[in-house]
Chains A and B, each alone.
Chain A
Amino acid sequence: MIKHLLSMDQLTGDDITHILDTADSLRQVTDRPIKKLPTLRGRTVCNLFYEASTRTRISFELAAKRLSADVINFSADSKSSVSKGESFKDTAWTLEAMGVDAIVVRHGSSGAPLQLSKWVRASVLNAGDGAHEHPTQALLDLFSIREHFKDLSGLNVAIVGDVLHSRVARSNVKGLVTMGANVILVGPPTLIPPQARAWGAEISHDLDSVVDDLDVIYLLRVQKERQNEQLFPSLREYAAIWGLDARRARRLKPDALIMHPGPMNRGVEIGADVSEYPRSIILDQVANGLAVRMSLLYLMLGGQEEAA
């Protein structure tokens, strides 16, 4: 198993299948009255979060605890690490000196987990870096899709919205392409880098022309804080042209899945009621995150112990 999980580039189709299969069996633990395995007893996992993210941090924390690891949480504001206080590298060395076995890192600067992995002996798990990658999100998304479609190859998957700034999109495209899905990126040209074709995805600027054939529609969050960057005229226009409203949702194939990494802007990228459609698996994605992160910690840290 890999030492660090930094990018979906590291994983082959077999690796992904192995991770998801392991997640499947670990999920049964969650259904037991005592929801704990002893696998990582005596091991320490640090959640190092330079960006606020309650849901990802809690998911990792719970995953580690379910495997009996000790968990410490270290939160810092990205900006403060440059203006004042301890440098990223010094923080890394501090954690190293304390003997942590794994560092789960979320950082606003693309590439920070890769840099971290060169400074420490601990395993590094990328929990989202800048606009680069968010591999555990992609894995839980693949897991969620696999619950409905046993074989991912040949599925038509649209990822809709702000691909340019999205680490979720980058990781998902890589994972989906590796598993043989057909990926189409949909949105205005201001939000879809033309170079994304090099990732093995197609590009469309017309949601209406693709919606009928989709097996999965994956909506990215519109980052309202980017409104002043003139990427599109208004949220209203965005919703009208690139949002999954009820009208478009009705055109989806009956078994097509609706996905979103959260948190949602209801009424913008997704219609207010669409998220509650039966084929919306948005809450399953959250639940599956736990199993997938348990699987990764189990495979990446547990395996070391067996070898030692």
Chain B
Amino acid sequence: MNSFLLTGGRMIDPATGTDATRDVLVRDGRVARIATGIDDDVAEHIDCRGLVVAPGFVDLHTHVREPGREDEETIATASVAAAAGGFTAICAMPNTDPVADSAAIVEKVWALGREAGVVEVVPAGALSKGQRGEKMADIGEMVRSPARVRLFTDDGHGVQNALFARRCMEYLRAFDAVYAEHCEDEALAEGGHMHEGERSAALGLRGVPAAAEELMAARDIALARLTGCRLHLLHVSTAGTVELVRRAKEDGVRVTCEATPHHFSLTDAALEEYDPNAKVNPPLRSDADREAIIAGLADGTIDAIATDHAPHALEEKDVEFEYAPPGLVGLETALGLANTELVGAGHLSLMQMIERMSTTPARILGLDDHGRIAEGAAANITVFDPAATWTVDPSGFHSRSKNTPFGGRTLAGRVVHTVFKGTTTVRDGAPSAGALV
């Protein structure tokens, strides 16, 4: 295999707390050596001066849309979009068609990911058959399949029945797997198109109250306490949920959570002109909620930044606001938003940002090969320029879908190289020829 030397970059590795100028020698898929002034005339030298060399990003929350909606995204196109965004691993949500509720489906998703070979595609399994919240999916078989599923969720829906949630948590303990919840009480949220507040009242749109999320978060924390199961709360959006998680962690409950770039970058003000691309579930919330999300990311209450990358076809989004499906694509804007809104605005250090985008999500998914740069470990690395500014142009996305509310926005922080298993999947900002599909 090939070898190359990343020279003179600022290596930031949260796993070891390293933040120093280092050369990183990659050979045969692994990190061969980390030192200063490595002298190697065999390997190709890649000048990383002025750039940050970080462990590859890990997205806990990607909707790859395959199988079922290959017109919106495929595992291959999501993989390239992920690599372009600096990711080396993505967790594929199971709300596909058919739902990933059996070993056969998760194996297929896993195999397609390997075939694309651009990032690690880690399938999540459904908790319930068809994500209907009634009968348990083939949880153990998915764990034991080659896909080795570790995170289970009915994402897209919250589990409405508390007893069913409890049973799933109890059963998952046998495998030390993660119960991940899309917190939404459907009765309270029904018919809602945006955050319930002053703006929804003025716009004449039915709102989703913060309580719809917080009720289920509180219930799940109580059930995690009861069962001892590992709980992960997906796309936390309200100040109340952040506070619930903060207290649960203080009490020793095994709970982690994630927040999306759009929830720390935008508020419901983005809906004032009824932009269907800003419609998302959970909805963009109030200023106070956004501030609480940022504070939670800063103090570690929120463990991970996850994109909730949700591709939608143009014809589905280019309609009346109330008819548009929720969701936006996020893989290719995640770094720019995190670096601009969190680091640039002075809330997080680069080290903390990288920890939330790589080290901690890798740990939650149990991915030993990701989230760190260490001699002997697999070389999954992102090299980015934190100072480079760029303007979001959805037509340039590698994702098959372009639904983003960030078009035209100028962001600081751009991926320069992505290294997956020792091979550059992105070089000088562009996917390598081999990665393109």
Whether A associates with B in a native complex is yes
Chain A residues proximal to chain B, CB less than 8 Å: 81-82, 87-89, 107-112, 114-115, 129-133, 164, 167, 170, 193, 195-196, 198-199
B39 on the A face (CB < 8 A): no
- The docked-state distance in angstroms from the alpha carbon of A211 to that of B274 is 37
Selected contact of A88 from candidates B204, B206, B273, B320, CB within 8 Å:
B320
A196–B319 CA distance with the chains assembled, in angstroms = 28
Whether the Cβ atoms of A112 and B205 lie closer than 8 Å is no
Contact partners of B320 in chain A: CB under 8 A: 81-82, 88, 107, 109, 111-112, 115
| A-B complex: 8 closest residue pairs judged by Cβ atoms | A111-B274, A132-B204, A131-B204, A109-B320, A195-B201, A109-B322, A110-B204, A193-B201
With most chain A CB atoms within 10 A of its CB, the pick from B198, B204, B205, B323 is B204
* A110 in contact with B274 (CB, 8 Å): yes
8 examples of A-B residue contacts, CB within 8 angstroms? A88-B319, A109-B321, A111-B204, A111-B205, A111-B273, A112-B321, A115-B274, A131-B204
- Cβ of B319: which chain A residues have Cβ within 8 Å of it? 81-82, 87-89
Docked Cα-Cα span, A115 to B321, in Å, equals 8
> Which of chain A's residues have a CB closer than 8 A to the CB of B321?
109-112, 115
B315 touches A111 (CB 8 A): no
A residues within 8 A CB of B273? 111, 114
Complex CA gap A217/B278 in Å reads: 39
Q: Name the CB-closest residue of A to B197.
A: A195
Tell me the total A-B contact number using a CB cutoff of 8 A.
67
What 1/0 mask marks residues of chain B from 64 to 81 whose CB sits below 8 Å from any chain A CB?
Answer: 000000000000000000
Closest B-chain residue to A133, C-beta based? B204
**Which residues between 172 and 229 of chain B lie within 8 Å of chain A, taking CB atoms?**
197-198, 200-206
Complex contact A110–B322 (CB within 8 A) = yes
Return the chain A residue nearest B315 by Cβ.
Answer: A87
Please count how many residues in chain B sit with their CB below 8 Å of the partner chain's CB atoms: 18
Are B323 and A170 in contact, with the CB atoms below 8 A?
no
Closest B residue by C-beta to A118? B273
Q: A130, B318: Cβ atoms under 8 Å? A: no
Residues of chain B lying within 8 A (CB to CB) of residue A81: 319-320, 323
Q: In the assembly, what is the distance between CA of A167 and CA of B197, in Å? A: 17
Question: In the complex, are the beta carbons of A198 and B204 less than 8 A apart?
Answer: no
Q: What's the nearest-Cβ distance from chain A to residue B316, in Å?
A: 9
Give Cα A28–Cα B122 distance, bound, in whole angstroms. 74
Is the beta-carbon distance between B201 and A110 smaller than 8 angstroms?
no
Min CB–CB distance A194 → chain B (angstroms): 8
B 266-277 to A, binary, CB cutoff 8 A, 1 in contact else 0: 000000011000
A184, chain B: closest CB distance, angstroms: 17
Across the interface, name the chain A residue whose C-beta is closest to B193.
A110
- Residues of B near A111 (CB, < 8 A) are 203-205, 273-274, 320-322
Q: Quick one: which of A107, A167, A198 contacts B198, CB cutoff 8 A?
A: A198
CB distance from A118 to the nearest CB of B (A): 8
* Most B CB within 10 A of own CB, among A87, A109, A196, A199: A109
Nearest residue (CB) in B for A115 is B274
Contact across chains for B198 and A114 when beta carbons are under 8 A apart:
no
Residues of B within 8 A of A107 (CB): 320
Given the complex, which residues of B lie within 8 Å of A199, measured CB to CB? Answer: 202
With A81-B323, A111-B321 known, 11 other A-B pairs at CB within 8 A are: A87-B315, A107-B320, A108-B322, A110-B274, A111-B205, A111-B274, A112-B320, A132-B205, A133-B204, A170-B202, A195-B197
Cross-chain contact of A132 among B198, B203, B315 (Cβ < 8 A): B203
A87 lies within 8 A of B205 (CB): no
Which residues does chain A contribute within 8 Å of B205, judged by CB atoms? 110-111, 130-132
The complex places the Cα of A199 from the Cα of B202 at a distance, in Å, of 8
Inside 8 A of A112's CB, which chain B residues have their CB? 274, 320-321
**Cβ A130 vs Cβ B202 within 8 A:** no
CB distance from A198 to the nearest CB of B (A): 5
Check if B315 sits within 8 Å of A167, measured CB to CB. Answer: no
**In the complex the two chains form, is B204's CB within 8 Å of A167's CB?**
yes
Bound complex: CA A170 to CA B202 (Å): 7
The residue in chain B whose Cβ has the minimal distance to the Cβ of A174 is B202
Minimum CB–CB distance for B278 against chain A, Å: 12
Q: With CB as the reference atom, state the residue of chain B lying closest to A134.
A: B204
How far does the alpha carbon of A199 sit from the alpha carbon of B204 in the complex, in Å? 13
Q: Which residues of A sit under 8 angstroms from B206, Cβ to Cβ? A: 131
**CA gap between A195 and B320 in the complex, in Å:** 24
Q: Are B202 and A195 in contact (CB under 8 A)?
A: yes
Contact with A along B299-328 (1 / 0, CB 8 A): 000000000000000010011111100000
Least CB separation from A193: chain B residue: B201
- A196 in contact with B201 (CB, 8 Å): yes
Cβ–Cβ contact A129 & B204, under 8 A: yes
A170-B204 contact, Cβ under 8 Å, with A81-B320, A109-B323, A110-B322: yes
A130 to B204, Cβ gap below 8 A?
A: yes
- For A195, the chain B residues whose CB sits under 8 A away are 197-198, 200-202
Chain B CB within 10 A, most for which of A88, A131, A170, A199? A131
| In the complex, chain B residues whose CB is within 8 Å of the CB of A170 | 202, 204
CB distance from A51 to the nearest CB of B (A): 12
The answer for the CA separation of A183 and B197 in the assembled complex, in Å, is 21
Taking the closest CB of chain A, its distance from the CB of B355, in whole angstroms, is 38
Whole-angstrom CA separation of A193 from B202 in the bound complex: 10
From residue A214, how far is it (CB to closest CB) to chain B in Å? 24
CB of B337, distance to nearest CB on chain A (Å): 25
Taking the nearest CB of chain A, how far is it from the CB of B425, in angstroms? 37
Q: Name the B residues within 8 Å of A164 (CB-CB).
A: 201
Instruction: Determine the distance from Cα of A111 to Cα of B322 in the docked complex, in whole angstroms.
Output: 9
